[in-house]
Amino acid sequence: MTLFDTLKLVHVLAAIVWLGGALITQAYVLRLKSAEPGHRLGFARDLVFVGQRVYAPAAAVSLVFGVWMVLDAEAFEFSQAWILIGLIGLFAAIGIATGFIIPQTKKAIGMMESGNGPAAGAIIRTVGMASRLATVVLLVTLWAMVFKPGLDTGNGVLFGTLLTVHIAAVMVWFGGGVVSRVFFQRIRRADLAHKIGFAADIEKIGPIFGAASMIAAIAGVWMVIDRPDFAFGQAWVIIGIVGLVLSSAIGGGLLTPVERKLHTELTAGGDGAAPVRRLNLLLSIDHTILVIVVWAMVVRPGA
């Protein structure tokens, strides 16, 4: 494993958490429109925490290691279009988050705490639009990183499209799972209204992860078929397929029933501690598998 492989692995993992988390957060935010006030307040606090403790470090790591990759690779130059698009996109998304989304969310939290819910709701809607704008900027950045305009990669349009879809799906699946796990940790100390609201959210949003895993698998298999230098007998492809199957089994066969149990237990007046512990354990196993899969996709042993 070369220095470039290591840099790329860290860069990709950070980008997965950042963009994948941002994409799945959009689903959570959409559900806030009909949420109870207690859940809205709790989730707003969670968003500030995730923004400062998860997205900001992931953005910084992605940026630093991306720049390092350009310095390390002789074929890469900062003047190339795809790198310029990537840098502008990263800085724009960071600016929107730190300059508007986080400060305005904090303002909305203060209003909700003082009982001014309607005014806070208006701010949250504006924050939602800004968040969607930042997500679109990051998706354009992802496109640039895959297609690399200004650099001859030798990849056709079909392969580039499949790779973009594959990566985006893995981001939702893996990155969204990482951020959801942070939310699970946070609701341990939350009030009952926020716990019940989040349990209902994750039960409804759960199918998104299943759809993302299906899309990632289909696009991945299609890429192997499309590229003559890829083969299903290569080690990295086998690791990827086995990992995706195991992760899908954990999600559909184990995580989904526990999520339902959490919602049922909280609605019945329980504290939900046991289901949350089990969810954290299952997510730890699932995310370990997905880290190995991402490593295999980046390093491609046996290619």
Chunked into runs of 10 residues, the chain (303 residues) has average pLDDT values of 93 94 89 80 90 92 95 92 94 93 92 83 88 93 92 85 94 93 86 88 89 94 93 95 93 89 88 87 93 94 82
Q: How many angstroms separate the Cα of 4 from the Cα of each of 17, 30, 112, 218?
A: 20, 39, 47, 28
| DSSP secondary structure of 257-303 | HHHHHHHHHHHTT---HHHHHHHHHHHHHHHHHHHHHHHHHHH-TT-
For position 252, what pLDDT does the model report? 85
C-alpha–C-alpha distance, residues 64 and 78, integer Å = 14
For position 232, what pLDDT does the model report? 95
Range of the domain at 157: 3-299
C-alpha–C-alpha distance, residues 224 and 175, integer Å = 24
For position 208, what pLDDT does the model report? 92
For position 116, what pLDDT does the model report? 79
C-alpha–C-alpha distance, residues 2 and 300, integer Å = 12
For position 234, what pLDDT does the model report? 96
Contact 124, 44 (CB under 8 A): yes
Contact 69, 76 (CB under 8 A): yes
CA 108 to chain centre: 24
Look at the chain and report how many structural domains it folds into. 1
Residue among 136, 134, 138 at smallest CA distance from 15? 138
For position 184, what pLDDT does the model report? 84
DSSP state of 229: T
